[in-house]
Amino acid sequence: MTQTINGKSMGRLAALAACAALGWGMVGAPLQAQDETAQIPELSGIWDGGGRVRPVNGPNMPWVRGENFPVLNERALAYVEAFDEAIAAKYDCVPSTPPALQYDPYMMEIVQWPDRVLLRYEKDDQLRTVWLDGREPTPMDYSLQGVSVGHYEGGALHVTTTMFTFDISGFDDYNGIPSSQLKKVTERYWREGEELKGTVTVEDELFLREPASYTTRWLPAPEGYKLAPYGCDPEIARMPVKFMVPKYR
């Protein structure tokens, strides 16, 4: 015989409670990280991207004219023509962004967690989070560094970053090429022995006629190395502008 309270079956109440608990569990459960059986490369550690490892970046590096230099449309060419070095955001301590940030000659630290990968750059004290849980960016997620999602495949980490804000020098620090809210940066990281290799590809329909890409490498940092604080001072950062010959008066 089933016990009743206020005319309701205890068995029915138990069933309703179990369904409610299951429903709350589904709503509150976090998104699942990538399948643990995926081939995950060992990328964690501090990596040296300085001058001992690769050529230092400049007007023709890593973008080499005649090889992988971006093909600009008329809108981008007009921006480049009008660009004045004095208005570059870097002189106000605004951080570098992809695809330039990855090639800056500084150390980078990678930390791998089950649901995310953290990329911390010594340059500009930037921290990027690569989400591995399948989330989709929302219209509220636009930011300077964008939103990065990724997955492991074929022994490599694949990253796609979108939701960037407009940046007057968002393509690189030297050529005055801007980037728009449509910028999309894809990255692939893998190991070759002691080297960390990476390919960075950028697309931007508002400024580029076709994707532009470069491949680079990092070597392990000296044993015991810790990332140093960047410590950009706005007054010191803007000081070089005083000695520039202005393009406009």
Predicted confidence at residue 7, as pLDDT, reads 42
User: Rounded CA gap, 48 and 128, in Å?
Assistant: 17
Predicted confidence at residue 4, as pLDDT, reads 41
Predicted confidence at residue 247, as pLDDT, reads 86
Predicted confidence at residue 138, as pLDDT, reads 93
Q: Which residues contact 137 (CB under 8 A, 6 or more apart)?
A: 147, 149, 162, 163
What pTM did the predictor assign?
0.84
What average pLDDT values come out for the chain (249 residues) when binned by 10 residues? 41 42 37 64 98 93 95 97 90 95 97 98 97 94 97 97 96 92 98 98 98 98 96 93 87
Cα–chain center distance at 53: 21
| Dihedral Cα 230, 94, 129, 52, nearest 10 deg | -50
Q: Which residues contact 129 (CB under 8 A, 6 or more apart)?
A: 116, 117, 118, 119, 148
User: Rounded CA gap, 150 and 135, in Å?
Assistant: 10
- Total length of the chain: 249
Token code pair at residue 177: 């090429």
Burial of 204 (0-12, 13-18, 19+ CB in 10 A): buried
Q: How many Cα atoms sit within 13 Å of 79 on the Cβ side?
A: 22
User: Rounded CA gap, 25 and 35, in Å?
Assistant: 20
β-partners of residue 202 are 185, 212
Map out the domains of the chain as residue ranges: 45-242
Predicted confidence at residue 35, as pLDDT, reads 61
Token code pair at residue 11: 């068995």
Nearest to 151 by CA among 45, 47, 46, 31: 31
Specify the CATH number of the domain 45-242.
2.40.128.20
H-helix or E-strand spanning residue 21 = helix 10-28
